[in-house]
């Protein structure tokens, strides 16, 4: 009952107890944590973003728990959480604007696509740069419906961590489907 009385007598004070300096500290530490995580992901490789294994998921959950205390410190109020979340949204939006405004900065932060397979040949330089194992690449190729590496025309690790795989089999199926759709349309138009 006492908590409700405080809330109704000073709702803003109940949500945001503390001083403006306390909330500026939360905003600044949240920004520092955001920048650290972006840098760490860049340094430890984008392949971590493609598909999460059980260990990757556990790692991300533990990291989020570890940095949560650093972001809000002793301020565990609703206001502290809202300021931390709001700061992360603002910093993320500003960071994306910077990436678009300065392409060289964007390349430095996000990296560039890495060609892993070209015309059925595994490119060791690309594999080394990506940090992927041959088994992980083979698995991703199979997930794209291609049985063997020799059947891959192009496999690229994209900047977002996804793997793009193109094969001659894919082009054949796509053009065959277009031809079937075209015939179906002509039949429909003729009737």
Pair 128, 104 in one domain: no
Of 102, 103, 101, which Cα lies nearest the Cα of 112? 103
> What is the number of other CB atoms lying within 10 angstroms of the CB of residue 83?
22
| DSSP classification of residue 144 | T
* pLDDT for residue 77: 81
Q: Does residue 94 sit within a domain?
A: yes
- Which residue has tokens 């301020």? 75
Which of 90, 110, 130 terminates a domain? The answer is: 110
Q: Which residue range forms the structural domain that includes residue 105?
A: 10-110
Interatomic CA distance for residues 138 and 174, integer angstroms: 22
Pair 15, 95 in one domain: yes
- The residues pairing with 156 across neighbouring beta strands, listed in sequence order, are 115, 164
E strands present in 41-138: 114-118, 121-122
Q: Render pLDDT for 74-91 as a digit per residue (tens, 0 to 9).
A: 887 888 888 999 999 999
* pLDDT for residue 178: 45
* pLDDT for residue 89: 93
Q: Render pLDDT for 33-43 as a digit per residue (tens, 0 to 9).
A: 989 888 887 77
Pair 84, 118 in one domain: no
Counting the structural domains of the chain, the total is 2
**For position 160, which CATH number holds?**
3.30.240.20
Q: Which is more confident, 3 or 109? A: 109
Pair 49, 101 in one domain: yes
Pair 46, 94 in one domain: yes
- pTM (whole model) above 0.95: no
Interatomic CA distance for residues 189 and 151, integer angstroms: 38
Query: Is residue 130 within 8 Å of residue 116, measured between CB atoms?
Result: yes
């Amino acid at each position: 009952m006492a908590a409700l009385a405080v809330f109704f007598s000073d709702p803003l004070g109940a949500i945001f107890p503390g001083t403006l300096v306390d909330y500026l500290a939360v905003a600044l530490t949240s920004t520092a944590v955001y920048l650290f995580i972006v840098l760490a992901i860049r340094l430890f490789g984008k392949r971590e973003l493609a598909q999460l294994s059980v260990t990757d998921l556990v790692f991300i959950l533990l990291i989020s728990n570890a940095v949560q205390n650093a972001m809000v410190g002793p301020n565990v109020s609703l206001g502290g959480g809202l300021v931390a979340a709001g700061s992360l949204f603002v910093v993320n939006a500003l960071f994306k604007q910077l990436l678009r405004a300065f392409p060289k900065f964007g390349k430095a932060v996000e990296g560039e696509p890495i060609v892993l397979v070209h015309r059925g040949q595994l490119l060791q330089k690309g594999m080394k740069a990506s940090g992927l194992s041959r088994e992980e690449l083979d698995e991703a190729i199979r997930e794209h419906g291609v049985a063997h590496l020799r059947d891959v025309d192009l496999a690229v690790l994209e900047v977002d961590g996804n793997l793009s795989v193109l094969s001659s089999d894919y082009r054949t199926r796509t053009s065959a489907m277009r031809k079937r759709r075209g015939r179906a349309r002509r039949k429909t138009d003729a009737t």
